Structure 1
Amino acid sequence: MLIDILSDKWKKAGLKNGDTVLLHSNCVRTVKYALQKGYVVDPNSLLDSFLKVLGSSGTLLLPLFNFDFTTGVPFDLRNTPSHMGVLTEAGRLHPLAVRTGHPIYSFAAIGYRAEEFRNVNNFSGYGIDSPFGILREMDGKIAVLDLPDQNSMTFYHHIEEMNCVNYRYHKTFSGEYTDISGKTELRTYGLFVRKLEEGVITYLQSAENLMWQNELYEGFKPNEGCGLRITSACRMFDFISDIIHSGNARGTLYRIEGVDDTQ
């Protein structure tokens, strides 16, 4: 079965039974592989392949990020879709999924520790009480399928907020919000955003290279092997925090448009 084949691939990348893991994903290459093998592919099969590895004692977190709220579009915790791909939308619709409350950076939690994410309604998308902070408290993991850090690893911004970096600032967004019970009201939430007026651009290629060089990642780079890599949220937090404290964030985590030559 396709689920068994894919599950074996995720195990070879380092995913384990009982893990609590946040998964970022680009499924295009995996779908092409399955089709070449003659399998009919659907998002639920992909989702089940990860849940099978994690088992009854594991927990899967999926990003349901949707940025419409920042432009004034109402958010509905029950119905607003994920903009992070077919796998995440399958996770949102999973009958056992628990959705967290931030209207921009919400998550679906499925599995053993999912109830610990119920009623999580953090004000700041990357704050200490966000799913990023909770994952770190749980000593969880982060997995990325066929995406570079630049296009996936939002956990960097949690680390930046926890370290109060000076190239980002707190910004609020207000809009119509409908909760799980169907109650609608005006709410305000925050994000720790780039200082665009200073030309700050997120730049994570150097950080990704350092993560590999220092053996914080295990598994496979994008477009190699099964394409899945995994890291410890706690180890990554400490490693990137050290980069920030040493004054090396610029050129490693961000650059200044029109000033820095790094591409």
Structure 2
Amino acid sequence: MSLMNDFINQLPIFNGDIVLFTSDAVRLGYYFHKNKENFDINELLDLILNKIGTAGTVLFPTYNWDFCKGIQFDYKNTPSQTGSLSQAALKHSAFKRTKHPIYSWAVAGKDREYLCELNNTDSFAEDSPFAYLYKKNGKNIILDVSMQNSFTFVHYVEQTVGVSYRYVKNFSANYIDETGMESLRTYSMFVRDYDMDAEVNLEPLENYLLDNKIIEETKIACSRILSIPLNKTFDIIKEDILNNQSKMIATYKGQKN
């Protein structure tokens, strides 16, 4: 069996799953090279799609924060700033990009068209892909990255529940849609309040989820894989926000020890 097939067989995804993939593929690519096998990203994407089947949906984050700096977003040409797998997904024929210029996603599978028709202007609102992942009991597969550097879903929970150390901020810039039409558009994002010295700190959350076996942690080849149930994790973060001053997810001025 090839290394690629062995990797996919052990990956904790199944037929009909709704999966968000966040990843750093450098270590995995090096492992393939070291073992004299070709690391073909398109083959990896094909095998993932085959494993979740026609009833499943897979999302790769293709985030790009340049819009926040007033830089034009081009639906067809603005690259992903979130890794080689997400950039490859943008070019793969089975995937289609969602519309938000900051938090866009490359999507394939059953709910691709539904997600790509969403017109959410707010990054983390109830009409966003984040809400879809929560309501559909999605899972987040994390490849060789800590939650600290990959778990954007936490901001959806923060906005939904309400926190004092973030606020909704509007950003405007030129937007070129998939038909080539250009317009000035405004989109929003739930941003840190720098006056409160707000910082993301997800290490306590990751440790809690691992200690309580809510996260499934797997070692495949040289890679560490986390499988995070987003519905259960939402409830844990909500409890932390409401009753523990968000101590498992953030630090900010005025937070009591």
Q: TM-score, normalised by structure 2?
A: 0.93
Which letter maps to 1:149?
M
Aligned to 2:238: 241
Shift of 1:73: 1.0
Note if 1:252 corresponds to 2:245. no
Q: Which runs of 5+ in 2 are unaligned?
A: none
After superposition, residues 130-141 of structure 1 pair within 5 angstroms as 130-141=128-139
Deviating above 3 A after TM superposition, structure 1's stretches of 4 or more consecutive aligned residues are 223-226
Which letter maps to 1:194?
R
After superposition, residues 106-255 of structure 1 pair within 5 angstroms as 106-220=104-218, 226-249=223-246, 251-255=247-251
Aligned to 2:16: 18
Which letter maps to 1:96?
A
Contact 1:203 1:253 in 2 (8 A): yes
Per-residue deviation, residues 177-218 of structure 1 (Å, max 9, x unmatched): 011111110000000011012211111100111111222201
After superposition, residues 22-101 of structure 1 pair within 5 angstroms as 22-101=20-99
Per-residue deviation, residues 92-118 of structure 1 (Å, max 9, x unmatched): 111121211111000011112212212
Contact 1:6 1:49 in 2 (8 A): no
Contact 1:9 1:226 in 2 (8 A): no
How many pairs are equivalent? Answer: 256
Which letter maps to 1:229?
L
Contact 2:7 2:221 in 1 (8 A): no
Q: Which runs of 5+ in 1 are unaligned?
A: none
- Quickly say closer, same or farther: Cα 1:113–1:171, change in 2 above 3 A: same
Q: Distance in 1 between matches of 2:99 and 2:31?
A: 35
Contact 1:3 1:48 in 2 (8 A): no
Shift of 1:224: 8.5
Which letter maps to 1:7?
I
Q: Secondary structure at the match of 1:248?
A: coil
Q: Secondary structure at the match of 1:60?
A: strand
Contact 1:82 1:88 in 2 (8 A): yes
Contact 1:98 1:117 in 2 (8 A): no
Range 192-201 or range 168-177, more displaced:
192-201
Shift of 1:52: 2.9
Shift of 1:158: 0.4
Q: Distance in 1 between matches of 2:120 and 2:172?
A: 14
Per-residue deviation, residues 105-164 of structure 1 (Å, max 9, x unmatched): 000111122122121121111111110101112121111111111100000000000011
Aligned to 1:6: 7
Shift of 1:255: 1.1
Q: Distance in 2 between matches of 1:131 and 1:98?
A: 13
User: How big is the alpha-carbon RMSD for the aligned residues of Structure 1 and Structure 2?
Assistant: 2.1
Shift of 1:219: 2.6
Amino-acid identity (%)? 35
Contact 2:31 2:221 in 1 (8 A): no
Contact 1:17 1:57 in 2 (8 A): yes
Q: Distance in 1 between matches of 2:35 and 2:170?
A: 48
Q: TM-score, normalised by structure 1?
A: 0.91
